[in-house]
């Protein structure tokens, strides 16, 4: 039987003329800010805590209704086979300065096309695609609503 781990993370982006997603270089792979959910902690609270610990970002405006879970297995020297689940939230930030934790060796804010190529794992790329679709759908709905409102005037 495998051990189970539960983590939470955030697909964080900013709009600086164009939408850019924050990716962290873990020294062997590129991924999002994420970490273990502590006992008694909600997934969202864990994601916020990890974002602050790993990047120094303290402001995140969460997208309503976005939560994507991925699951995978990995081998740990002490625990053996581990079944891990990670839930990702989507949030915007206006933070410009990043203060990396010692878990990471670098970071990059990248537009979608570059970010999707930089991410190491297929599951992370799929989470990013869903985040982009969600944001584009909201933008399109907002534009349609604005057009309808403008036409009514």
- Give the residue-averaged pLDDT of 105-111: 96
C-alpha 113/C-alpha 124 separation (Å) is 14
Sequence-ordered list of residues with C-beta below 8 angstroms from that of 71, at least 6 positions apart, any chain: 83, 84, 85, 86
pTM to 2 decimal places: 0.86
Alpha carbons 125 and 116: distance in angstroms, whole number: 5
pLDDT tens digits, one per residue of 43-89: 999 999 999 999 999 999 999 999 999 999 989 899 999 999 999 99
Residue 5: CB partners within 8 Å, gap ≥ 6? 36, 82, 83, 84, 85
Per-residue model confidence as pLDDT tens digits over 12-48:
999 988 999 999 999 999 999 999 999 999 999 999 9
For residue range 83-107, what is the model confidence (pLDDT) as tens digits? 999 999 999 999 988 999 999 999 9
β-strands 34-36, 30-31: how paired?
unpaired
Q: HSE of 105 in the Cβ direction (CA atoms, 13 Å)?
A: 6
Structural domains of the chain, ranges and CATH numbers in brackets: 3-152 (3.90.79.10)
């Amino acid at each position: 039987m495998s051990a189970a781990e539960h983590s939470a993370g955030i697909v964080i982006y900013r709009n600086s003329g164009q939408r850019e997603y924050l990716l962290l270089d873990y020294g062997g792979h590129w991924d999002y800010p994420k970490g273990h959910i502590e006992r008694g902690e909600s997934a969202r609270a864990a994601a916020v805590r990890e974002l602050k610990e790993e990047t120094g970002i303290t402001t995140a405006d969460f997208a309503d209704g976005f939560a994507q879970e991925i699951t995978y297995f990995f081998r740990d020297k002490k625990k053996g086979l581990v079944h891990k689940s990670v839930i990702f939230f989507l949030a915007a930030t206006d933070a410009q300065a990043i203060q990396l934790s010692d878990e990471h060796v670098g970071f990059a804010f990248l537009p979608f096309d570059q970010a999707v190529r930089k991410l190491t794992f297929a599951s992370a790329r799929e989470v990013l695609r869903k985040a982009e679709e969600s944001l584009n759908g909201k933008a399109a709905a907002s534009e349609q609503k604005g057009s309808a409102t403008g036409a009514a005037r």
